[in-house]
Amino acid sequence: MKLYEYLGKELFNRYDIPVPRSRLVENAGQAGEAAAELGDVVIKSQVLTGKRGKAGGIAFASNPEEAKKEASRIFDMSFSGFAAEKLLVEEKIEIEQELYLAFTIDGSARCPVVLASLSGGMDVEEVPEERMIRWPVDVSIGLQPYMIREICRLMGVSGDLQKEFLKFMPKLDRMFKELDAELAEINPLALTPNGLVAADAKVTIDDDALYRHQELPRISEKTALERKAEELDLAYVELEGDIAVMANGAGITMATLDMVQHYGGEPANFLDFGGGADVEKTSQSLELLLGTDPRVLLINIFGGITRCDVVAEAFVRVKQSQGIELPVSFRLIGTNEEEGRAILEKEGIKTFNSMDEAVRHAVELSA
Amino acid sequence: MSIYIDENTRVLVQGITGKQGSFHTGQMLNYGTKIVGGVSPGKGGQEVEGVPVYNSTFEALENQEAEASILFMPAPFAKDAAMEALDAGLKLLVLIPESIPLHDAMEIMAYAKQKSAVIVGPNTFGLVSSGSSKIGIMPNRYFIPGPVGVVSRSGTLCYEIVGHLTDSGIGTTTVVGLGGDRVVGLHFIDVLKKFEEDHDTRAVIMVGEIGGSAEEEAAAHVAAHMSKPVIAYLAGKSAPPGKRMGHAGAIIERGRGTFESKVEALNGAGVKVADLPTRISSLVQSVL
């Protein structure tokens, strides 16, 4: 779960990580009032998409009138389809140098990694590899002062700035661990006459750990349909095409989408209804897909934990209760496939044994 | 021969009294796995499928000898159970649960390293040495002995591919599920090394997917150290960037982990990448 910048900064504040003074505002008038209080300000759209600066979602203002004007301009903008509901109005800080600092998780090393660079402020992808220091943190010992000194040495930092980092990094490390973060990124990390200040905050919390963080708000980037799928505990992603796809398992679902494209079709979605779903959950998955009004329905089941008779029974239930008018291509093999096929045959529904044939049939039906 | 497990591997089932645990204990016993005990705190003294149940891993090991354990329990309890198994001295853990918090997974991996233990998963179907033993939840009938080693990031897709092989009359030595999460114990490289040393394995299939850099790292290893032919399939060619396709690892973020970069790396290492999962068996036949 990605957090808005202002929420990230609230958390920073809780962990004693310096951030600029600010006001969160919901309309242009409030932005003007905030500027009256804070003086020279930066006005920042609170959206989750990156590159909001390049898109014009960040503006400077030196008086309340200007702040009102800029705020109302940003409120009217759209960022990858999302409008900002709130703006963060911050005091403009005196920046001597823009740095970069992040804690994230390195799957290759199976541990957290510190990323640090003297080249901050720009898109992190544009920082040359040799200017980005990467330090994996061994979980069995955690972040130690020697690691911070080493990161500083590799960056070419010493003296007062190193002392600043020795104070700053352990706070970010503690927050990263305690809040089950996947990412805690500060770009730019501003060096000011008063020391290091987090000028931005990009914090992502591990979805699988949210159950132990009731104190955090819930934020969703999902569409209404994706949210409904989430309530049903389905992995669902909306796509652009017209062939609705339902399969069991993330890998096989991706492979099914790839195969649809390979044969010239366009998938309407990714829907993995998981392993071992019962009739109820399988029916709900089907109903969700039918609600998207696709042209063709493609079901690809290779039963392991998932039982073919359960899928067949769910299909028949939905067909009888709400009717399934659109053409269907149904592949069904694996655990209890004979039982499953028998249930479908009674309803006059044929199934394929091979994934390849089922996908090709679905693509033909969509043409 | 096989890698990691064989017919002599003695296995505990943690969470044996749950629905999944008891069902798969029966399936594993049917396959021939030597299950010597189950663990379920507070339920010691019972039997599941004829297997004695103990209150803790320590208690189980006071009464039975075992090297490995398979874990079935809700994700919030997985770290405690895994740490207990490692502390008690087990050397191979198969973590079936999905949705284990990342920071828990990292702690488990760090402790396993200290204990020189192997972790398979989390969010894996486990592993099977065909015809002799399986520690996992894969359907029994597709795993027949043969000359091909398989290592996969995803479950059902792996069954699909192994099912195809079986239908073409090609069996497997060992099939290993790495797990779909961002932090997992075994990586492609660990398993490739084992297959390279295994006399019975004559070719290896890698089933990967978009996200992360595991396939690229594997490609570099194949180029430098593998003499056996490697065939790959990668899922997620059609996935749009920024959308997480079910697996926690399967997401193209900040331009990293794309399908194209993985195919390029693998082709560069001499690995043939099948464009459809159904075409793997013919590629394998061509190298055997």
Q: The CATH number of the domain where B105 resides is what? A: 3.40.50.720
Taking the Cβ of residue A183 and every Cβ of chain B, the question of whether any pair is shorter than 8 Å is answered with no
Taking the Cβ of residue A66 and every Cβ of chain B, the question of whether any pair is shorter than 8 Å is answered with no
**Which of A105, A254, A275 shows the shortest C-beta gap to B102?**
A105
Strands (E), chain A: 2-3, 22-25, 41-45, 58-61, 87-91, 97-106, 111-117, 133-136, 181-192, 195-198, 202-205, 235-238, 243-247, 269-272, 296-303, 328-334
Domain for residue B4, yes or no? no
Do residue B155 and residue A251 have CB atoms under 8 angstroms apart? yes
Q: What is the pLDDT of residue B254?
A: 66
Same domain, B106 and B149: no
Q: Which residue stretches of A120-246 are H helix?
A: 145-155, 159-178, 224-231
For the domain made up of A97-209, the CATH class stated in words is alpha beta
Same domain, B152 and B31: no
CATH of domain A224-366: 3.40.50.261
Domain for residue B127, yes or no? no
Domain residue extents for chain A:
21-91, 97-209, 224-366
Task: Name the residue among B212, B216, B218, B278 with its Cα closest to residue B251.
Answer: B212
**Which of A138, A206, A302 shows the shortest C-beta gap to B159?**
A302
Alpha-carbon span A165 to A147, nearest angstrom? 11
- Domain end, chosen from B57, B88, B120, is at B120
In three-state secondary structure terms, A113 is: strand
Q: What is the DSSP letter of B103?
A: H
What CATH number is associated with residue B229?
3.40.50.261
Catalytic residues of A: 100, 185
Question: Mean pLDDT in runs of 10 for chain A (367 residues)?
Answer: 95 98 96 96 90 88 96 90 90 96 95 95 81 95 98 96 97 98 96 97 95 91 81 88 94 96 96 86 92 94 89 95 92 92 93 96 95
Asked if B230 contacts B222 with a C-beta cutoff of 8 angstroms, the reply is yes
* Distances from the Cα of A118 to the Cα of A99, A151, A171, A342, B156, angstroms: 5, 11, 19, 66, 45
In three-state secondary structure terms, B149 is: strand
Alpha-carbon span B196 to B267, nearest angstrom? 19
pLDDT digit string, tens, across residues A215-262 = 999 887 777 788 888 888 888 998 999 999 999 999 999 999 999 999
Same domain, B179 and B282: yes
> In which band, very low, low, confident or very high, does the pLDDT at B160 lie, cut at 50, 70 and 90?
very high
Do residue B138 and residue A304 have CB atoms under 8 angstroms apart? yes
Query: Tokens 């989408």 map to which residue?
Result: A257
ipTM, interface predicted TM-score of the complex: 0.90
Same domain, B90 and B187: no
Give the range of the structural domain holding residue B51, as residue numbers without chain letter: 10-120
- For residues B181-189, average pLDDT: 96
Alpha-carbon span A252 to B278, nearest angstrom? 12
- H/E stretch holding B200: none
Sign of CA dihedral A175, A177, A179, A180: positive
Taking the Cβ of residue A81 and every Cβ of chain B, the question of whether any pair is shorter than 8 Å is answered with no
Alpha-carbon span A211 to A34, nearest angstrom? 36
Same domain, B170 and B68: no
Taking the Cβ of residue A324 and every Cβ of chain B, the question of whether any pair is shorter than 8 Å is answered with no
Contacts of B150 in chain A (CB under 8 A): none
- For residues B119-142, average pLDDT: 96
Sign of CA dihedral A49, A53, A57, A59: positive
Exposed / middle / buried, residue B216 (Cβ in 10 Å: 0-12, 13-18, 19+)? buried
Domain for residue B2, yes or no? no
Same domain, B187 and B84: no
Asked if B2 contacts B198 with a C-beta cutoff of 8 angstroms, the reply is yes
Do residue B238 and residue A257 have CB atoms under 8 angstroms apart? yes
Same domain, B94 and B157: no
Q: Nearest C-alpha of chain B: how many angstroms from A116?
A: 17
In three-state secondary structure terms, A4 is: coil
Q: What is the pLDDT of residue A233?
A: 83
Is B224 a residue whose pLDDT tops 80?
A: yes
Exposed / middle / buried, residue A128 (Cβ in 10 Å: 0-12, 13-18, 19+)? exposed
Do residue B185 and residue A177 have CB atoms under 8 angstroms apart? no
Q: What is the DSSP letter of A339?
A: H
CA contacts within 13 A on the Cβ side of B222: 26
Q: Considering only the C-alpha atoms of chain B, give the largest distance between any 2 of them, rounded to a whole number of Å.
A: 56
**Which of B100, B183, B207 shows the shortest C-beta gap to A107?**
B183
Kindly state the tokens that stand for A123.
């898109």
Alpha-carbon span B273 to A146, nearest angstrom? 44
- Domain end, chosen from B60, B89, B120, is at B120
CATH of domain A21-91: 3.30.1490.20
Phi, psi of A292 (to 5 degrees): -85, 0
Task: Name the residue among A273, A293, A275, A292 with its Cα closest to residue A283.
Answer: A273
Which amino acid is present at A4?
A: Y
Q: Any bridge partners for residue B12, and if so which?
A: B37, B69
- Domain end, chosen from B90, B120, B150, is at B120
**From the CB of residue A76, how many other CB atoms can be counted at a distance below 10 Å?**
10
Same domain, B155 and B258: yes
DSSP A256-305: HHHHHHHTT--B-EEEE--SS--HHHHHHHHHHHHTT--SEEEEEEEESS
Catalytic residues of B: 247
For residues A135, A136, A140 and A146, what is the CA-based torsion angle, rounded to 10 degrees? -10
Domain count for chain B, please give it. 2
Asked if B173 contacts B201 with a C-beta cutoff of 8 angstroms, the reply is yes
Domain for residue B130, yes or no? no
Q: Nearest C-alpha of chain B: how many angstroms from A51?
A: 12
Chain A interface, mutation test: which of B86, B102, B154, B165, most A Cβ atoms within 10 Å?
A: B102
Contacts of A333 in chain B (CB under 8 A): 163
In three-state secondary structure terms, B52 is: strand
- For residues B182-210, average pLDDT: 97
Helices A28-38 and A64-75, packing angle to 10 deg: 140
Where residue A88 falls (left for φ over 0; alpha for ψ -120 to 50; beta otherwise) is: beta
Same domain, B116 and B174: no
